[in-house]
Amino acid sequence: MVNQERYTHFIKTTAHQLGFNFCGIARAQLLTDDAKRLETWLSKGMHGNMQYMENYFDLRIDPTKLVPNAKSVITLLLNYFPDKTQNLNAPKISKYAYATDYHDVIRNKLNEFIKLLKENIGDINGRGFVDSAPILERSWAQKSGLGWIGKNGNLINKQSGSYFFIATLIVDIDLNYDNPIAKIIVAPVQNV
């Protein structure tokens, strides 16, 4: 238990040192409710032309299929809201595309993170992901207390909104787990 606390503290501190804005941790487990929602979503054809969403269903809902003996899912958020506004005469591009490709930036941070974990915790097995595996990142972010999934399908963080890239580290060590964010239900407006 003392090691779990020490490891958890090290992970959260390291996440911030590497430039991540938020770090949450959830127990690695089968995502039963998400599996039902995903199955219904797919069966209704809600994924349109994104046939890849039908692939690797078992990997999407079970982190132990991606990292054998997985115990913990670490979710990391990196804010991408740009400091500068776009040139008015330039073609309009999405805010997340203003800078270097986020896949490269975050992948480098995740590789460094895993290296630091191995140097400071010991021989652990883990993998980092940023849009590189069939992971339900938003579900894990919600389970690890980082926010809730809004009507628009985005993860909403109470302090900072939705301008985040989501990265995931799955590791085979027990950690202290954060409390999930309860689903926020917006009541319909009543006509008076």
pLDDT at residue 186 tops 60: no
Calpha distance 100→24 (Å, rounded): 25
CA nearest to 85, candidates 93, 73, 77 = 93
Judge whether 131 counts as a catalytic residue. Answer: yes
Nearest CA to 86 out of 96, 95, 77 is that of: 95
> What is the reported pLDDT for 192?
46
Identify the active-site residue in 62, 131, 172, 174. 131
Straight-line distance from the first to the last Cα atom of the chain, in angstroms, rounded to the nearest whole number: 55
And the tokens for 38?
A: 């995903």
Reported pTM: 0.84
Residues 126-171 have pLDDT tens digits of 999 988 788 889 999 999 999 998 888 889 998 888 888 899 999 9
Query: C-alpha dihedral over 100, 103, 109, 112, to 10 degrees?
Result: -120
Crossing angle (nearest 10°) for helices 2-17 and 102-120: 150
pLDDT tens figures, 86-110? 677 777 666 555 566 666 788 999 9
**Residue 124: its pLDDT value, please?**
93
- Per DSSP, 146 falls in state S
pLDDT at 188: 47
Spatial separation of the C-alpha atoms in residues 153 and 143, rounded to whole Å: 15
Rounded Cα–Cα distance for residues 32 and 38 (Å): 10
pLDDT value at 51 more than 80: no
pLDDT tops 90 at residue 2: no
